[in-house]
């Protein structure tokens, strides 16, 4: 059976593999476009950008996320009720007190970020504070504290930046590919055609690859964080009710972008599209019903 330390080491390894894979993917895209357009400068730019984005994704991803969501940091005098909950759970879990951020969004939700417990933060929407009671909020905070403890936040925040960048870059490269001047074919025309087709397939599939990466690092960690939160609060029903309320609330989030979806405790996508079979296949979260059932079957 895996221990907390095994999980932490696994998440660190996954983050390293993710960043290395990102470097290889972007440099590969750069090489292809450089060859397609006959411009070596593109490969050089791809290498520079991939290294820069890898650095930003590790050291600055939390700041980027808070900038996207418009989150503002709060302290004890702003929301003493919330501050005390986080403080008590920090003591219970033995973790450093994370920074607390508030997102002005009526859709109830929350997420945690940070490369390690010493540089962690929890963000909560205003809707969550208004629509959940104390035990439910405590369950949500404990869930996010568990992500911090297990270093889930390390890989999940890195994914936000890298997935977003891969999608944008692939789209940009695909558009550039249509500008190539085909007047100078030279020798090996058939090989160039084959490589060209393969290259375009690679570029078109890059966003899908990014989505699969995002999907792969998300689902299992939610079950583990739910269980850890229940142990932390000794009251699994609080988190179970919170998951019910958050999932049933139909308020559309202002920040339901695909690159951020895997961060939240519950997927922010609401409405008709949320139930389509394709969305379920690529959902970054396991079924809410299954999570609630497991929590309510826990005997503490």
SS (H, E, C) 37-59: HCCHHHHHHHHHHHHHHHHHHHH
Give the sign of the dihedral formed by CA 78, CA 80, CA 81, CA 87. Answer: positive
Tokens of 287: 């079924």
Of 206, 225, 122, 212, the closest CA to residue 168 belongs to 206
- 52-90 CB burial, b ≥16 within 10 A, e <16: ebbebbbeebbebbbeebebeeeeeeebeebbebbeebb
Q: What whole-number distance in Å separates Cα of residue 282 and Cα of residue 260?
A: 14
Question: Virtual CA dihedral for 126, 131, 137, 140, nearest 10 degrees?
Answer: -80
Between the alpha carbon of residue 260 and those of residues 46, 107, 292, the distances in Å are: 24, 14, 23
User: Which residues are annotated as catalytic?
Assistant: 144
Let me know how long the chain is.
300
H or E element, residue 122: strand 121-125
Give the residue carrying structure tokens 């009671």.
Answer: 133
Q: Tell me which DSSP letter residue 273 carries.
A: G
């Amino acid at each position: 059976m895996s221990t907390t330390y095994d999980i932490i080491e696994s998440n660190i390894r996954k983050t390293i593999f993710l960043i290395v894979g990102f470097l290889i993917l972007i440099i590969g895209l750069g090489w292809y476009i450089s060859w397609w357009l006959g411009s070596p400068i593109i490969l050089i730019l791809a290498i520079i950008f991939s290294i820069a984005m890898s650095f930003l994704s590790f050291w600055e991803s939390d700041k980027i996320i808070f900038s996207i969501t418009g989150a503002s940091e709060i302290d004890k005098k702003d929301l003493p009720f919330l501050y005390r909950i986080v403080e008590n759970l920090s003591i219970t879990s033995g973790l450093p007190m994370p920074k607390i951020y508030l997102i002005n969004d009526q859709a109830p939700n929350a997420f945690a970020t940070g490369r390690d417990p010493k540089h962690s933060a929890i963000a909560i929407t205003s809707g969550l504070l208004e629509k959940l009671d104390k035990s439910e909020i405590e369950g949500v905070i404990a869930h996010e504290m568990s992500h911090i403890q297990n270093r889930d936040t390390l890989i999940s925040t890195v994914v936000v930046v890298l997935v977003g960048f891969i999608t944008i870059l692939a789209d940009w490269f695909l558009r550039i590919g249509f500008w190539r001047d085909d007047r100078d074919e030279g020798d090996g025309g058939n090989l160039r055609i084959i490589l060209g087709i393969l290259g375009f397939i690679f570029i078109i599939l890059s966003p899908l690859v990014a989505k699969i990466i995002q999907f792969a690092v998300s689902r299992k960690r939610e079950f583990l964080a739910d269980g850890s939160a229940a142990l932390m609060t000794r009251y699994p029903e609080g988190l179970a009710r919170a998951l019910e309320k958050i999932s049933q609330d139909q308020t559309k989030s202002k920040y339901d972008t695909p690159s951020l979806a895997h961060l939240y405790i519950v997927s922010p996508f609401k409405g008709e599209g949320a139930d389509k079979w394709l969305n379920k296949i690529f959902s970054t979260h396991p079924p809410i019903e299954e999570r609630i059932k497991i929590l309510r079957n826990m005997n503490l």
